[in-house]
Structure 1
């Protein structure tokens, strides 16, 4: 991606995402008693939260709606629901369409022109409570303006629950595209994608683009994906495409699935048998071909430096906060990348080798 466009889009994305994050207050001095601390902390939190909401600069809160301007992050564009089908526990495949004449033309010579190169997302607005959330179109957008989303409904997720109720023909406003990460075909030897739940959507968008182009110059891709149960794995629309691509291109793409529990319906036979447990350091080392396992007595008396592959490897991480924190460390303030932590930091990988989505 163009650097200027990337910074512009990421700025908008971070501002939007930052609204949903809370910031902890400094701990009071110990001279205060517990009975006094609680009201003070609560009051400070309320004041800070209200101040942040009303005074934090956010152009999207007052972004207009246009039915004639080209699709852009600066305003909302009405789209129409084509279908909204169940795809698993608390998930749906939602297909939207925007008027094709409103799709902007991508101009590689213009650093400020919108880009539909992976990985990008759009903000979808809940008109009832005027709240927006980012969602990644699985296959980007086609020439007819159609976009397909995999939407999960969370107990406290206002927009997801609202989207699950939408019916064909109804209108939904969105704005974008906003670039999340810039795909550069020849920069890396291997890209390792680690995802949990609906965090697979940006990686599917990237892989769908790679599959469609059938470029020989693309790096090797590895996908490590985790779900709670086999029933919560991504729907066939996603998994069948990836499974076929892996079978036809074993030197180009490999996929490994993980589940916390094997309870419920097993996955289809043509999919890789999920490993029981979460994605940890051994799984990452195995996918990189690294052997850091020593006997217990050797680990006791001799500390080996972390091994890293000689090839250029990039890690992309997307999923629930708990998973992202464990794999690559938490996001920074205002949803910035923050320092690299977790397993990847222990393995010696640096900030220019890890990107959190």
Structure 2
């Protein structure tokens, strides 16, 4: 196990999770910016595609601050489905988020006193943007509204001109190219966002040889977030990405797997625990994470449990976002 990977393993990650990393500046590029035209894509698919294909003539500074919250105004709200929308925030000109992979940010209401938890503390929640780290002047979040989610409900009250405080980046998992032969990504609902961050980063490299298996569960077909983008990636990278959608309540014409992500599903699609260079990353609602990999302990990883423990996977082979 590499020194870098060991330094961020669950046993020591908790001591570092609130230490916000700053990405080193990239070397200056001599590439001339390119303008690409795309037709036939709409909504979120076009937005994500466009933010990931623009080239920049020189590196952009980060608009984020790893030491304190910074207020950003909502530029646009784009409905995605019946309970999810993309919230696009305006960054200062000629700046970007510069988020390293894999990392996230934490958000807080513009008025911390207006949104508190049961203990009277300001509500702070982690989120992973769907926009590219080099996207100029914008940062976007795809947010699903959960009835029990204090911050997700607050997001859905925001309109253009409103502000939200953002702080970061927070390092999560130090992704290293080709460290693993296979990475299984198990997600549910809006838990797709950090998994998507890893996938798009890895597959953007022509040197990538790691095979990714995404098991993505949702209640209905309409609940599947970023499906157009995931399908496009799988079509473009058929040898290194396999996407499997599972539904709890499918319609009669659904041809994919049904039900929860069980031990049988994992055994069917994921390399066994005996494969040393296999990694499993999990992100979803707390109940799903607990059932698959054991409960998280706040920002700490918590003990390995659930289906993955039953199948013999160890804490070194599992990471919970």
1:1-357 superposed matches below 5 A = 3=7, 9-11=16-18, 71-100=64-93, 116-126=99-109, 127=111, 128-129=114-115, 130-211=122-203, 213-234=204-225, 238-263=226-251, 273-288=255-270, 308-310=273-275, 312-332=277-297, 334-357=298-321
Unaligned runs of 5+ in 1: 14-68, 105-114, 268-272, 290-306
Count of equivalent residues: 264
> 1:79, 1:98 within 8 Å by CA — same for their partners in 2?
yes
Q: Distance in 2 between matches of 1:8 and 1:338?
A: 13
Q: Distance in 2 between matches of 1:143 and 1:248?
A: 22
Q: CA deviation at 1:70?
A: 5.7
Larger Rg over CA atoms: 1
Q: Secondary structure at the match of 1:240?
A: helix
> 1:138, 1:205 within 8 Å by CA — same for their partners in 2?
yes
> Under a length normalisation based on structure 2, what TM-score does the superposition of the two structures give?
0.74
Q: CA deviation at 1:101?
A: 5.5
Q: Distance in 1 between matches of 2:63 and 2:287?
A: 37
Q: CA deviation at 1:314?
A: 0.1
| Structure that is richer in helix per residue | 1
Unaligned runs of 5+ in 2: 21-61, 116-121
Say if 1:119 and 1:100 are closer, same or farther in 2 by CA, change over 3 A: farther
Q: Distance in 1 between matches of 2:269 and 2:274?
A: 11
> 2:96, 2:134 within 8 Å by CA — same for their partners in 1?
no
Superimposed CA distance per residue, residues 163-188 of structure 1 (whole angstroms, 9 cap, x where no aligned partner)? 11212232221111111211111211
Q: Distance in 2 between matches of 1:356 and 1:322?
A: 13
Q: Which moved more, 1:2-11 or 1:335-344?
A: 2-11
